[in-house]
Structure 1
């Protein structure tokens, strides 16, 4: 079977719904060849990214403490490095970044201090997301809350207003991400999983954050630490929140009732291939190749591009350019009749 050549920057796309089961199985088998971790590549990625992050963060802290405020402009690359570190932590949660399960856990927990994301709890809830994404009967854990057209129409007026506020771009893309990453992740209560599953991970991280950032405050002062840390955390949360949104909340995404849902088809149809310039792809750890990641979450981020390059079909499925992704901002409801995500 042949597939069209995809010119750079051009959105050439085939509908994953047109794939038969044999083709889906073939693509799944192809991805299996890329699932093994390469510790050398993993350590190089971690050390270079962490080193660049520490350099930028250290210069920002020095600038805030000494009055060299021009150095605070480094929050832009620092935020990008933090997004990339979150990608490493994400892979560690899938036990895919390193060959050793223990090394994945150790590094994932250490990176939590910078990403502000409790490794153990987030990994468990994210694993649920991977086994339920696109399943209408199992919504609510690790995804953006999404109602169908009929479900929204049946809501009372107050509930409709709350859902509209939640799905409003100002809340979903500006206020929501930092609120979630910086504040809501500090409490084990109100999480998607039971409190007992969240308590140890979240409170353990809170203690680590208190020790690390409390020590920095004692050394440099509250104002200096806030000026160095908050802009970076805000930028990273906005980028991360947007990526998570656009990876599943696009017009031709995929939702099915539980009895018709299959993981492989949902991965290819309900997860986007977000086409970005190489520099942005680097900062985001190749997570834009999200359809491949959902098809096989054991593929480490540093092998996703090779998996894509070696199978032309994967480059034509669920493609979404940056310009096209901006049109997704107002989408809010799943319309089963049209099989599309639609606006209010």
Structure 2
């Protein structure tokens, strides 16, 4: 089988960004979200029974979930600087799109860029659920093995989704503040104990990030703080407008479902039978893109809500391709993608078995 080189792919014509198309994508996503929330307000304030209101709210939950997923997908493009022509525009709109789902865009994008740099190198990057190697799994106790299996079950997409979008950005800031406060107190008591009173006003403690993707530097920390302030103000306004209990439960449900979809998509695009899963010494970034990223054969309407991220091999080959050019680039290079994995919706459930990395044989293996 002939080795495919990066130069074999037709990429350059599809790198061109278009601010008009990018703006249209933003408008066609944000305006429907606002309209749906206005409809939600009308539904909960009409003089009908709870049963009828609940029935009418179901379509709004579905639509808001899908548009939330699209918002996240467009934020993802901004993180790659591939939506608008200018980095500042991508940065600005990425920040705004992050507010919709309550997630700091810059920190997320930096963490996501690490995934792109190491895709297929399972010695360095073990996917969105921190897959264990076979050796690590075998060293676990039976109890811990059972916990690992349960914690990686597809049903955990829902509590995981709730944590990922609703809790984690808030909890991240709380832990950073707690750690910083604790360090200052310990430092102060140590100075008092050592009678170094003249140094009391000198602070040597620094913010320590609780997670790999939040608060790693001042810029990320600043965005984390601003994101939380704006998001909590927004939640407060929406709670007064729609009612505290209703909004928090309704909004949490939407974000949970949206995050579950996104985590599921991300998972199946990298965890599947015969996925490229090399050690560092045998890893190749091109093979990681083509053989370590599945392409999804899903309905066009669902592709729209995911901003065509289903054309994933091409996306990993060059993340600078705008989402609105991905499909055309995929079709132009389809003859070079015969080794890539293509998945249908019916294949998704089988992917969740592949949660062990056999590092000696360099492949993902199922855990039954």
Aligned twin of 1:24: 5
Mapping for residues 1-344 of structure 1, pairs under 5 Å: 20=3, 23-27=4-8, 29-66=9-46, 69=53, 70-73=55-58, 74-139=60-125, 143-171=128-156, 173-188=157-172, 189=175, 190-193=210-213, 195-197=215-217, 198-226=220-248, 228-314=250-336, 316=338, 317-335=340-358, 336-337=360-361, 339-344=363-368
For residue 327 of structure 1, give the secondary structure of its aligned residue in structure 2: helix
> Which segments of 5 or more consecutive residues in structure 1 lack a partner in the other structure?
1-17
Deviation (angstroms), 1:270: 0.9
CA distance in 1 between partners of 2:252 and 2:363 (Å): 40
Q: Deviations over 1:194-244 (max 9, x none)?
A: 644353232221111111111222233213423542332222112111111
CA contact (8 A) 1:253 1:269 kept: yes
> Which segments of 5 or more consecutive residues in structure 2 lack a partner in the other structure?
176-209
Q: CA 1:174–1:232 in 2, change beyond 3 Å: closer, same or farther?
A: closer
For residue 268 of structure 1, give the secondary structure of its aligned residue in structure 2: helix
CA distance in 2 between partners of 1:227 and 1:60 (Å): 13
For residue 10 of structure 2, give the secondary structure of its aligned residue in structure 1: helix
For residue 214 of structure 1, give the secondary structure of its aligned residue in structure 2: helix
CA contact (8 A) 1:56 1:75 kept: no
Q: Deviations over 1:297-342 (max 9, x none)?
A: 1111111000011122255321111112221122211234273432
For residue 334 of structure 1, give the secondary structure of its aligned residue in structure 2: strand
Aligned residue pairs total 322
For residue 261 of structure 2, give the secondary structure of its aligned residue in structure 1: helix
Q: CA 1:87–1:286 in 2, change beyond 3 Å: closer, same or farther?
A: same
Q: Deviations over 1:85-131 (max 9, x none)?
A: 11110000011000011111111111112122211110111111111
Deviation (angstroms), 1:295: 0.8
Aligned-residue CA RMSD (Å): 2.1
Q: Deviations over 1:153-184 (max 9, x none)?
A: 1234454344223212222x232122222112
For the pair shown, which has the larger CA radius of gyration, 1 or 2? 2
CA distance in 2 between partners of 1:234 and 1:124 (Å): 23
Q: CA 1:19–1:290 in 2, change beyond 3 Å: closer, same or farther?
A: farther
CA contact (8 A) 2:107 2:214 kept: no
Q: CA 1:99–1:194 in 2, change beyond 3 Å: closer, same or farther?
A: closer
CA distance in 1 between partners of 2:21 and 2:214 (Å): 36
Comparing 148-157 and 250-259, the one that deviates more: 148-157
CA distance in 1 between partners of 2:274 and 2:30 (Å): 36
After TM superposition, the score normalised by the length of structure 2 is 0.81
CA distance in 2 between partners of 1:19 and 1:90 (Å): 33
CA contact (8 A) 1:64 1:227 kept: no
